[in-house]
């Protein structure tokens, strides 16, 4: 009797498993891998934006500084920090000039100063002549090689900061 029950149970299991609909595996379509173009592999530059598809779309924004702002704000104070020694110093620079930074091998070239930085889709400008969001556009070179191009913000120093292994730069203020 035991044998008959075992045989019956085995047949029942085989019947249940055999009646189940088998799922057919769909083949995975093979898509050739395309190598990215040279433009897609290049590092984004200043004034470029990443589009949602991952390629770089370069958009030049025109920097517009009203004459009244150019006349009012002529100098900027930069804080130079030596990360190795922890020493901080200040250097006053003329806006639109080039100066060596302290005893480092860094050179700072200042461009536009905007007392109330604002960016639109096509331009960068100032919303007023008041120091609401001060920003200074700079280029920093080391031994003649450009290592940074961007804006230094006095109220938001950690937004796109100048990063260097030894030195840190901050815009402290502008001087009329």
pTM (whole model) above 0.85: no
Domain locations in the chain as residue ranges: 62-175
Check if the beta carbon of residue 138 is closer than 8 Å to that of residue 157.
no
- pLDDT of the chain, 176 residues: tens digit per residue: 677 667 666 766 666 666 655 555 556 555 455 555 554 455 554 444 555 556 656 667 999 999 999 999 999 999 999 999 999 999 999 999 999 987 789 999 999 999 999 999 999 999 999 999 999 999 999 999 999 999 999 999 999 999 899 999 999 999 99
The pair of three-digit structure tokens given for residue 100, joined into one six-digit string:
């060596």
Residue 112's closest CA among 135, 140, 80, 79?
135
Neighbouring residues of 118: CB distance < 8 A, sequence distance ≥ 6: 124, 125, 126, 127, 133
The pair of three-digit structure tokens given for residue 106, joined into one six-digit string:
């860094």
pLDDT, tens digit, 9 for 90 and up, residues 84-105: 999 999 999 999 999 998 778 9
Element (H, E) at 148: strand 145-153
Give the position of tokens 């815009």: 171
């Amino acid at each position: 009797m035991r044998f008959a029950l075992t045989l019956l149970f085995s047949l029942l299991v085989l019947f249940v498993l055999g009646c189940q609909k088998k799922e057919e595996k769909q083949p995975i379509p093979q898509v050739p891998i395309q190598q990215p173009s040279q433009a897609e592999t290049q590092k984004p530059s200043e004034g470029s934006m990443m589009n949602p598809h991952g390629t770089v779309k370069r958009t030049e924004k025109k920097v517009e500084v009203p004459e009244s702002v150019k006349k009012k704000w002529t100098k900027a104070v930069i804080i130079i920090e030596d990360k190795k020694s922890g020493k901080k110093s200040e250097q006053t620079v003329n806006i639109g000039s080039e100066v060596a930074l302290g005893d480092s091998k860094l050179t700072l070239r200042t461009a536009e100063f905007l007392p109330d930085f604002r960016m639109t889709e096509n331009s960068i400008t100032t919303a007023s002549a008041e120091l609401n969001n001060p920003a200074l556009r700079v280029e920093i070179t080391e031994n003649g090689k450009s290592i940074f191009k961007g804006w230094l913000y006095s109220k938001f120093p950690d937004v796109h900061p100048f990063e260097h292994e030894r030195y840190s730069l901050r815009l402290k203020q502008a001087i009329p």
